Amino acid sequence: MGKSLFEKIWERHVVKTIEGGPSVLYIDTHFIHEVTSPQAFNGLNKRGIKVFRPKQTVATADHNVPTLNQHLPIKEELSRKQVEALIKNCSEHGVELYGLGHPYQGIVHVIGPELGITQPGMTIVCGDSHTSTHGAFGAIAFGIGTSEVEMVLSTQCLLHSKPKLMRIIVEGELNKGVVSKDIVLYILSKISASGATGYAVEFAGSAIRSLSMEARMTICNMSIEMGGRCGLIAPDETTFNYIKGRKFAPQDFDKAVAEWKQLYSDADAVFDKEYHFDAADIQPMITYGTNPGMGIPVTGTIPTTETINETDKSGLNKSLAYMGLEQGAPIKGQKVDYVFIGSCTNSRIEDLRMVAAFVKGKQKASDVEVWIVPGSKQVEAQAKAEGIDKVFEEAGFVLRQPGCSACLGMNEDKIPAGKYCISTSNRNFEGRQGAGARTLLASPLTAAVAAITGKVGDVREWPL
Amino acid sequence: MAKAFTTISSRFVPLNIENVDTDQIIPARFLKATTRDGFGKNLFRDWRYENDDETKPKADFILNQPQYSGEILVAAKNFGCGSSREHAAWSIQDYGFNVVVSSFFADIFKNNALNNGVLPVTVSEPFLQNLFSLGNEATLTVNLEAQTITIDATGESESFEINAYKKTCMINGYDDIDYLLSIKEDIINYENSAP
Ligand code: SF4
């Protein structure tokens, strides 16, 4: 029997398996950040031990950092303390830190790939659920809790049972105006926010293979929103070309590529569950509710108790009451107050280019606030080098500095209660972007339309 | 080192809401601590208080209804989805819950709970609905050794699954780090033999 991509990587990383229990899984690369690591370092200090393999750990500050005036001390005391704790812990334990002010600083899931640290065949973890992003390179990458951060810091290993395997195949050509965010919101709307719980999800098919690395990362990023343990895509020429020449790319690149080429699911690999979707059915998508599975085409209507799927039925009225939306109403034309383009889902250079190409020569709607938050210092520098910052400035947008920002509202970038925010991030949970904030998840293109018109619109009505 | 877990008999708090995500369990603004203590007072913060004001509890939220109490939280399906923040498990434990019952748990939450001595008990949907129909006086017994959950008044019972290794850890109050540290030789051997 053939093996799946996931199994090939998993089996190479099992140190041993406990009778009737989980496997000891070796972790190649561990990313850490300021919010979920301090208690783990405390644990090590209490045991009197040091980080076991500090060279395999990379740190950055992203979750609670301000996105304006990053050169100044952080005003908010608790955030400042967390960042200071990270600096201290990294220096005491010999861990490389790309902190505030460093040219490599940025959202952890943006900097790993762009530095070439993320590579095919690896096991990668981080105390953050969107670690699944790195799976776009054909790696097993997943989020962990702080106790597990402590395990990896102290032993470079984790105890995990092998998940079930799922494959999601998307075949065909994408429609005009449809981008990878729409693909993943579409899949979510079909299989629900818990549809992949307990599974490692491989994304495959011609529509997936046609995507750039940035676009693939957007899809794997949101595999956690389906409940998936991780998401992964077999590496190919697109992957190899992306990694080539990056700072931490393998020295003997050709040898590495020869090994990476073995990383694919064999034709007779067996999956516990498989879904097939047709790319032609996918339209620009937007969410109306309070979990990422509650999505519809921008031209669609909000479901009613009669038309909604079973999974979201009981929560529909609660969601709509929170969102201030009505059953059966069209979503197109819905007023928007804020536009947030950022987060580890859509803050890479390709996302900013996409938005810039659309808004060039246009003006933002007067009653909308537009925040563009690049995923990293490198993305920011690249945007400036390409003149993208000027395009945004002329349109009336604010280009801020890198961090998680309004994706989770841990810094001061919060959406006020009751306001609508069209966001390129990944979660529309109650209060995610600030207490009472109402989030509509969409692609950078759909967000750009809202920035110009102040409303939810269909990007296909514009010349592209 | 977590505390050893054997059997718990207690009343329970019914939280009949599906898809409770960890942003609801503990909103992001409370994640700025550098220790593990004191998260219980912010458990379900935005559902608990009007305008984030501790003097204005929302009367319709279950944690604010004193007739419901106990060490067991009973929640509707897909509990703990979303962010990987272990703070969710810490806040549940710090508040005083040692068991969470649901018909479906999100993966990372389940692991985080087990790593903190909070037992996630997965029951069938009919059994769960049965629990929601009980009054506030009802008590449940969760027996980890036997892997059963029982409604004390009627004796209705269901067995639940738990990984054998995790069960041993919980019963003895071991933690995974103790174990991993004890096999360091194996880990180093693996590193030396890996391709
Ligand atoms: S951008 Fe949002 S989802 Fe991504 S790591 Fe930061 S907080 Fe998490």
What secondary structure does DSSP assign to A293-304, as a single string?
A: T-EEETTSB---
Q: Which stretches within chain B are classed as H helix?
A: 22-25, 45-48, 87-95, 107-114, 125-132, 164-172, 176-182, 184-193
Is A84 touching B (CB cutoff 8 A)? no
| pLDDT band at residue B2 under the 50/70/90 scheme | low
Least confident segment among A161-165, A238-242, A439-443, B165-169: B165-169
Whether the CB-CB separation of A377 and A103 falls below 8 Å is answered with yes
d(CA B132, CA A273): 32
Structure tokens at A223: 């595999």
- Fold entry, domain A286-461: Aconitase; domain 3 (3.30.499)
Per cent of chain B over pLDDT 90 is 80
The secondary structure of A150-187, three-state, reads HHHHHHCEEEECCCEEEEEEEECCCCCCCCHHHHHHHH
Contact between A437 and A417 (Cβ < 8 Å):
yes
Domain-by-domain residue ranges, chain A?
A: 5-160, 164-247+255-281, 286-461
Within 8 A by CB and 6+ apart from A192, the residues are A226, A293, A309, A311, A312
CA distance A346 to A355: 11
Per-residue pLDDT of A169-178, as tens digits, reads 999 999 999 9
Share of chain B above pLDDT 70, in %: 98
For B104, the token pair is 């479906």
Report the pLDDT averaged over residues A156-171: 97
Mean per-residue pLDDT, A184-197:
96
Separation CA A201–CA A199 (nearest Å) = 6
A143 to B82: CB separation less than 8 angstroms, yes or no: no
% of chain A surpassing 70 pLDDT: 100
Q: What number of residues does chain A have?
A: 464
Q: What is the mean pLDDT of residues B179-187?
A: 95
Task: Supply the pLDDT for residue B195.
Answer: 65
Q: What is the pLDDT of residue A19?
A: 84
Q: Percent of chain A, pLDDT > 90?
A: 95
Is the pLDDT score of B1 beyond 90? no
Which residues 308-337 in chain A show a CB within 8 A of chain B? 314-315, 318
pLDDT in tens, A125-160: 999 999 999 999 999 999 999 999 999 999 999 999
What does the pLDDT average to over A294-321? Answer: 94
Cβ-Cβ contacts under 8 Å, A22 against chain B: 163, 165-166
Coil/strand/helix, residue A369: strand
A440 beta partners: A422
Pairing relation of β-strands B72-75 and B7-15? Answer: parallel
Distance CA B75, CA A345 (A): 30
- Residue A413 Cβ < 6 Å to ligand 1: no
Q: B86 and A147: CB-CB below 8 Å?
A: yes
Look at residue A294 and tell me whether its pLDDT is greater than 90. Answer: yes
- The CATH architecture of the domain made up of A5-160 is 2-Layer Sandwich (3.30)
Superfamily of domain A164-247+255-281: Aconitase, Domain 2 (3.40.1060.10)
Q: Helical H runs in B2-53?
A: 22-25, 45-48
Residues from chain A that touch B186, judged by Cβ atoms under 8 A, are 15-16, 24
Q: What is the dihedral of CA A306, A309, A315, A320, to 10 degrees?
A: -60
Write out chain A residues lying below 8 Å of B174, CB-based.
none
Q: What is the pLDDT of residues A435-458, one digit of tens each?
A: 999 999 999 999 999 999 999 999
- Mean pLDDT throughout B133-145? 96
Query: Does this chain's domain A5-160 share its CATH topology with A286-461?
Result: yes
Q: How many CA atoms lie within 13 A of A316 on its CB side?
A: 17
Q: What is the pLDDT of residues A240-272, one digit of tens each?
A: 999 999 999 999 999 999 999 999 999 999 999
